Amino acid sequence: MRKLLQFSGRISSILEFLIAFFFSLIFALVVLLVVLRYAFNTSIIGANEVITILFVYTTSIGSALAVKKRGHIAIPVMVDLLPPKARRCIDLVGLSLILLINAVMLFYSLSWIKTTGNFLMPATGLPRMTAQLCIPLGCGLSVLYCLTLIANSFAQTPSQEDSHASLEKPE
């Protein structure tokens, strides 16, 4: 179990760095395009597509990281009133549903990419699968993180269940 959590932590660190790098790249490209447009009345062909692709990847990877950190929007008013075992069951049901929907999206996105991924994007000439691969990437990472959280939940002792964050990895 410990190795699984360490592996998950390493992947998360790499992905957080990747997101920061992508956002830095997006910022630099946007500033460059603004300067080119207003100072020199020119632009870089395809740069807007690249910015869009980078943004979509940051969203996809960030969504998976939010699953790991239990950072998605939640209103736990009623759940907080429940005893720890009931909270744990509700957390497990929620994680299972997140796992299920991401597994289904992962499955169907692969056939979608196989069908439409070879069409070229108009400005860059890159195949559409370049942008579309963010869907199975984000869904696959979400499935991995859900499985890790569920496994961690079953590995915890009853004394560790007392906090509401019973499914979170201690930082």
Report residue 21 as tokens: 């790098």
Q: Do 80 and 158 form a contact (C-beta atoms < 8 A)? A: no
What tens digit of pLDDT does each residue of 94-106 get?
999 999 999 999 9
Give every CB contact of residue 57 below 8 A, 6+ residues apart in sequence.
22, 134, 137
Residue 68, CA atoms < 13 Å, CB-side half-sphere: 28
pLDDT number for residue 156: 76
pLDDT number for residue 157: 62
Report residue 50 as tokens: 């690249």
Report phi then psi at 46, rounded to 5: 90, -5
Confidence of residue 13 (pLDDT cuts 50, 70, 90): very high
What tens digit of pLDDT does each residue of 42-58 get?
999 999 999 999 999 99
- Residue 115's CB is within 10 A of a number of other CB atoms, namely 9
pLDDT number for residue 53: 96
Nearest Cα to Cα of residue 10 among 144, 133, 131: 144
What tens digit of pLDDT does each residue of 102-140 get?
999 999 999 999 999 899 999 999 999 999 999 999 999
Nearest Cα to Cα of residue 26 among 46, 50, 62: 50
Q: Do 51 and 30 form a contact (C-beta atoms < 8 A)? A: yes
Confidence of residue 158 (pLDDT cuts 50, 70, 90): low
pLDDT number for residue 79: 85
In terms of C-beta density within 10 A (0-12 exposed, 13-18 middle, 19 or more buried), how is residue 39 classed? exposed
- Residue 141's CB is within 10 A of a number of other CB atoms, namely 23
